[in-house]
Amino acid sequence: MKYMLIMRATDEAFASMANTDFDQMLETVGRFNDELIRAGVLVAAEGLADAEEGVVVDHSAEPPVITDGPYGETKELFNGFYILNVASKEEAVEWAKRLPITGAGFKTEVRRVPTIDEFPQDNEWIRKERAWREANGQL
């Protein structure tokens, strides 16, 4: 089963890392990533650029409203993610508990990534996506 670990931080927690030595942070995260690789569970992992570089597309109106980051009232920023292929939610939670960036205001959301097999297989769009995934070595 695939699970996504979504790393979140409050504005204050994110700001508290401003003085962290970048090389030390890379070392710490790199060691954790290496553990995931050696365990054979890492599918993907990415950090995200600063929220000031982002954009929000709000579909509450027509046409959608585009807002440049940062996003004003943001209480928690989504800063990066891991996708793990593990046996259970409990195993995903155990990996999330080991994430090296911790402290007040840092949280990790654990969400299962459904497989394409969980969708109606007689649907035209699901068949097209399955064919695309097969052609790209994703199935």
The band of 51, judged by pLDDT with boundaries at 50, 70 and 90, is: confident
Q: In a 10 Å sphere around its CB, with 0-12 CB exposed, 13-18 middle and 19+ buried, how is residue 9 labelled?
A: buried
User: Residue 133 above 70 pLDDT?
Assistant: yes
Q: Is the pLDDT of residue 75 over 70?
A: no
Q: Does residue 76 surpass a pLDDT of 70?
A: no
Q: Are the C-beta atoms of 106 and 30 separated by less than 8 Å?
A: no
Read off the pLDDT band of 74 (50, 70, 90): low
Report the CATH number at residue 113.
3.30.70.1060
The pLDDT of 95-120, averaged and rounded, is 91
Q: Domain range for residue 122?
A: 2-135
If one counts the domains in the chain, the total is: 1
